Amino acid sequence: MSDTNAANPLVSARGLCKGYGKGRARVEVLRGLDLHVNKGEFLAVMGPSGCGKSTLLHVLGLMTAPDAGSVCFDGVAAPARAGGRTAIRRDRIGFVFQRFNLIGVLSARANVAISLRVRGRRDDGLAGELFERLGLSEVAARKPGQLSIGEQQRVAVVRALAHRPDLLLADEPTGNLDSANATGLLDVFREINRQGQTIVMITHSPEAAQAAGRIVCMRDGKLFDHNP
Ligand SMILES: Nc1ncnc2c1ncn2[C@@H]1O[C@H](COP(=O)(O)OP(=O)(O)OP(=O)(O)O)[C@@H](O)[C@H]1O
Ligand SMILES: [Mg+2]
């Protein structure tokens, strides 16, 4: 089981349950899921569409509370209050949403700048460097609606990384990229991981998953080690 790998966890989830809806329309998505992600790990999560990967990432990222079970971040139980969770999320987590969630009225560059500002962080040049590395310098002044889907996805990655989070949670970050751009992005992930940042990446791509040090698969609302 995945939770044997608990030497020095940055995130520990135990007995997570999460569902949607009420009564007969109720769908149970996470069903007693355990996961420990060690500091400095690069973990890939795979599994069929609809199995609950994004739901899990939202719970791990303290965006939403589980119905049952607990999440600990760096040894501290995630506060039940949404406000308490927000502080950890803002200061220590970077999130690449499956649907990007960029602000439509702001340019790509301003999307990243505002994310730094709400965190009280200075622009130390990393955002510009990432824009360049991910082939976005030419389009940084454009608004999301004037960008291709793959460009929007890479802007979302820059926004998630610019404040140097301890934990990067990325929901299918290569899902809309051609192979050259996917490789470039995964090189960045590997590099920041070598520098100590912890990564949990959801992917449908076996090639992308190979960039990670460990792969787990979701089935029946739980995680299992991937044995190729
Ligand atoms: N807000 C919601 N209300 C009701 N059901 C939901 C809601 N969000 C997700 N679901 C359902 O929960 C299940 C898990 O959804 P989730 O988005 O976590 O899957 P996923 O594994 O990320 O899928 P994909 O690979 O397609 O992104 C699905 O059956 C989905 O229809
Ligand atoms: Mg999803």
Q: How far is CA 225 from CA 79, 85, 218, in A?
A: 29, 28, 9
Find the 123 Cα to ligand 1 centroid distance in Å: 35
Q: Per the structure block, which two tokens stand in for 48?
A: 């069929």
From 22, 24, 27, give the residue whose CB has the most ligand 1 atoms within 8 Å, as the site to mutate: 27
Report the number of distinct structural domains present in the chain.
Answer: 1
Q: How much is the average pLDDT of 183-188? A: 98
Q: Locate 224 and state its tokens.
A: 């299992």
Q: What is the pTM of this model?
A: 0.95
Dihedral class, residue 51 (left if φ above 0, else alpha if ψ from -120 to 50, else beta)? alpha
Sign of the CA dihedral 175, 176, 179, 184? negative
pLDDT at 122: 94
Among 37-51, 67-81, 201-215, the least confident range: 67-81
pLDDT in tens, 139-161: 999 999 999 999 999 999 999 99
> Looking at residues 49-54, what average pLDDT do you find?
98
Does position 130 have pLDDT exceeding 90, yes or no?
yes
Which residue has the least CA distance to atom 5 on ligand 1?
A: 20
Identify the pLDDT of residue 16.
Answer: 98
- Testing ligand 1's pocket by substitution, the residue of 20, 46, 200 carrying the most ligand atoms inside 8 A of its CB is 20
Q: Is the pLDDT of residue 170 over 90?
A: yes
- pLDDT surpasses 60 at 3: no
Which is higher by pLDDT, 5 or 167?
A: 167
Mean pLDDT computed over 14-34: 97
Position 228 pLDDT exceeds 90 = no
What's the rounded mean pLDDT across residues 45-68? Answer: 97
Indicate the DSSP class of residue 79: P
* Token representation of residue 191: 């590099």
- Measuring from atom 6 of ligand 1, which residue has the nearest CA? 20
What is the average pLDDT value for the chain, to the nearest integer?
95
pLDDT of residue 79: 85
- Residue list, ligand 1 pocket, CB within 6 Å: 20-21, 27, 29, 47, 49-55, 98
**What is the tens place of the pLDDT at every residue in 208-223?**
999 999 999 999 999 9
* 30: CATH: 3.40.50.300
* Proportion of the chain above pLDDT 70, given as a percent: 97
C-alpha 228/C-alpha 225 separation (Å) is 10
Neighbours of 80 (CB within 10 A): 8
What pLDDT does 196 receive? 97
Q: Are 89 and 74 in contact (CB under 8 A)?
A: no
Range of the domain at 37: 2-225
Q: Which pair of tokens denotes residue 143?
A: 């608004």
